[in-house]
A = this chain, B = another copy of it.
Amino acid sequence: MRVAILAHEQFPGQAKTALGILRYADYDVAAVLDRDTAGDRVNDYVPDVQDAPIVESMDALADDDLDALIIGIAPIGGGLEESWRDDIRTALESGCDVISGLHHFLSEDEEFSTLADEHGCELQDVRKPPEDLTVSQGIADEVDAEVILTVGTDCSVGKMTVSMELARDARDAGYDAAIIPTGQTGIMIEGWGNPIDRVVSDFTAGAVEEMILEKGDEHDYLFVEGQGSIVHPAYSAVTCGILHGAMPDKLILCDEAGREAIHGYESVSLPPIQTYVDLYEDLAAPVSETETEIVAGALNTADLDDEAAREAVDAYADDLGAPAVDVIRQDTDEVLEALL
């Protein structure tokens, strides 16, 4: 599938979804749309991902045979920026699908839905949960696959990245491993999945279980993309629902070096690592016959130099009493050995 990724005025720093797609998705990326950096190339900013030209607008891609335009940024609040409307319109008029993770559903926008109908293309709102979700049956532990869930000390510590990197490395090593996507970027990369943070709260566990049951007998290992943190004042419900819905065999605890408080909730200090280990394991234990253990750690050291990063990962492994890794900078062999 050949795609363009819209990231106006946000590439690369604030374009988490765009970067995730460039790094992990199987799409052929024709271009990134960013009017601020137009003329440059992706690799000028981010060296270790798929390269592509950066262009000003969809008009620059008129002769390209694109399958989809992906909205690769998410402003706070999830609204649609009016300045993106031209690009979306141009895409639809050239018969191109549009894939969006905005809270503002494109399929409910009258102009876009009319255009999509006229030109026979599709508006995919990945943040819109399917209508047929329901409560969990409590049977995710019955699937054949080993279920491995990333859990976090906080939001935005790298759970999605860790899931993606480890699943890829496992596949490279010959294992049959798949991703269970639970958030908008994961869903766009994989092309399917339930946006767990948008489902009805009673269906949180059920929406994860449904995906595990769908894929659990087709693969040997499922890496479930975790969300939030069990000590997050706003998002712990989602975290708890994923833990009980997925009934994982193994957990990877993800952290960011130097983080001391919950992002955006600075009065909530992160408790010691052992508190997280106990909370996640003790909360999982009563619900499933599977014994769920934290067997490895992943540390995001993006803000440190190489030596400080190595030291931080070693200290994290000591704290955890288990192997740990920065999945972007380091070799994941030791952690994979603990997981697979």
Provide the residues of chain B in CB contact with A286, threshold 8 Å: 231, 268-271, 275, 279
Is there an interface contact between B238 and A237, defined as CB atoms closer than 8 Å? yes
Decide yes or no whether A289 CB sits under 8 A from chain B: yes
A234–chain B nearest beta-carbon distance, Å: 4
A161–chain B nearest beta-carbon distance, Å: 21
Q: How far does the alpha carbon of A59 sit from the alpha carbon of B317 in the complex, in Å?
A: 73
Decide yes or no whether A204 CB sits under 8 A from chain B: yes
Q: How far does the alpha carbon of A204 sit from the alpha carbon of B197 in the complex, in Å?
A: 10
Decide yes or no whether A283 CB sits under 8 A from chain B: yes
- Known A200-B201, A282-B279; contact A237-B237, beta-carbon cutoff 8 A: yes
Decide yes or no whether A287 CB sits under 8 A from chain B: yes
Closest chain B residue to A203 by CB distance? Answer: B201
Q: How far does the alpha carbon of A289 sit from the alpha carbon of B138 in the complex, in Å?
A: 33
Provide the residues of chain B in CB contact with A137, threshold 8 Å: 233-234
Residue of B205, B262, B270 near A234 (CB, 8 A) is: B205
Decide yes or no whether A248 CB sits under 8 A from chain B: no
Is there an interface contact between A236 and B205, defined as CB atoms closer than 8 Å? yes
Closest chain B residue to A202 by CB distance? Answer: B197
Is there an interface contact between A233 and B238, defined as CB atoms closer than 8 Å? no
Provide the residues of chain B in CB contact with A287, threshold 8 Å: 231-233, 236, 268
Residue of B235, B267, B269, B271 near A202 (CB, 8 A) is: B235
Provide the residues of chain B in CB contact with A288, threshold 8 Å: 233
Provide the residues of chain B in CB contact with A271, threshold 8 Å: 285-286
Is there an interface contact between B278 and A282, defined as CB atoms closer than 8 Å? yes
Provide the residues of chain B in CB contact with A282, threshold 8 Å: 275, 278-279, 282
Interface membership of chain A positions 274-308, coded 1 if the CB is closer than 8 angstroms to chain B and 0 otherwise: 01001100110111110000000000000000000
Provide the residues of chain B in CB contact with A200, threshold 8 Å: 197-201
Residue of B135, B237, B278 near A201 (CB, 8 A) is: B237
Interface membership of chain A positions 183-201, coded 1 if the CB is closer than 8 angstroms to chain B and 0 otherwise: 0000000000000111111
Interface membership of chain A positions 246-269, coded 1 if the CB is closer than 8 angstroms to chain B and 0 otherwise: 000000000000000010010111
Is there an interface contact between A233 and B199, defined as CB atoms closer than 8 Å? no
Interface membership of chain A positions 135-152, coded 1 if the CB is closer than 8 angstroms to chain B and 0 otherwise: 111100000000000000
Provide the residues of chain B in CB contact with A204, threshold 8 Å: 201, 237-238
Is there an interface contact between B283 and A138, defined as CB atoms closer than 8 Å? no
Decide yes or no whether A42 CB sits under 8 A from chain B: no
A291–chain B nearest beta-carbon distance, Å: 14
Given contacts A137-B233, A137-B234, A201-B204, 13 further A-B contacts (CB under 8 A): A138-B262, A198-B201, A198-B202, A199-B201, A200-B201, A202-B238, A205-B233, A232-B244, A236-B241, A237-B244, A240-B240, A269-B286, A270-B286
| A–B complex contacts, Cβ < 8 Å, 18 sampled | A136-B234, A197-B202, A198-B200, A198-B201, A199-B201, A201-B201, A201-B241, A202-B235, A202-B237, A202-B238, A205-B236, A205-B237, A230-B240, A231-B286, A233-B245, A239-B240, A267-B289, A271-B286
